[in-house]
Amino acid sequence: MNKQSYLAAAEQHCLHRGCKLTALRRHILELVLEYDGVVKAYQVLADLQRERGVAAPPTVYRALDFLVEQGLLHKVDALNGFVVCSHFECNHHGLILVCEQCGRVEEIDASQFLGALKEVTEAVGFESREQNLLLTGLCKACHA
């Protein structure tokens, strides 16, 4: 999906969920879409400050949190950053694959597998929080 299609679909997704992709939130999402792979909040803040002059960190963090809540981004705690969700229209558990060589990030729906993992952990009385799983290694291009 190209950037404009993604933004239009994201706007409809938010409306369907009863919230609004404001101009600022949309702009933050556009900035994130400019990156391949993981983007850190400070990178988005720096981009916004370069464009607008003054931008406060809480503004960026609130917008990023909103985009995560709506399923448009995934927060990758292990990398202290965010990745774009390629299929936000469905409720899923993401498996984030990060290439250690080129930095390419791919997200796949791993609901079936992560659901089974959650069942196993619940069977021993462990209540895990909702999260995405991150795997690092080499992508197909770098492996070849």
User: In this predicted structure, what is the pLDDT of residue 51?
Assistant: 92
Report the CATH number that the domain containing residue 126 is assigned in CATH.
3.30.1490.190
Q: Specify whether 104 is located in the same domain as 73.
A: no
User: In this predicted structure, what is the pLDDT of residue 19?
Assistant: 96
Task: For residue 12, tell me if it sits in a domain.
Answer: yes
Domain that holds residue 57: 3-84
Task: For residue 102, tell me if it sits in a domain.
Answer: yes
**Binding positions for Zn(2+):** 99, 102, 139, 142
Question: Who wins on pLDDT, 26 or 38?
Answer: 26
**Binding positions for Fe cation:** 93
Task: Render pLDDT for 70-128 as a digit per residue (tens, 0 to 9).
Answer: 999 988 887 889 999 887 877 667 788 988 898 888 888 887 888 888 889 999 999 88
**Cα–Cα distance measured from residue 70 to residue 26, given in angstroms and rounded to the nearest whole number:** 12
Task: For residue 31, tell me if it sits in a domain.
Answer: yes
Q: Tell me which residue has tokens 């995934």.
A: 74
Report the CATH number that the domain containing residue 16 is assigned in CATH.
1.10.10.10
User: In this predicted structure, what is the pLDDT of residue 70?
Assistant: 94
CA dihedral 77, 58, 29, 33 (to 10 degrees): -50
Task: Render pLDDT for 31-70 as a digit per residue (tens, 0 to 9).
Answer: 999 998 889 999 999 999 999 888 899 999 999 999 999 9
Q: Specify whether 30 is located in the same domain as 59.
A: yes
Q: Specify whether 99 is located in the same domain as 79.
A: no
Closest CA to 63 of 85, 41, 90, 43: 41
Q: What is the largest CA-CA distance in the chain?
A: 52
**Binding positions:** 93, 99, 102, 139, 142
Give the residue-averaged pLDDT of 17-40.
94
Task: For residue 89, tell me if it sits in a domain.
Answer: no
Q: Specify whether 72 is located in the same domain as 101.
A: no
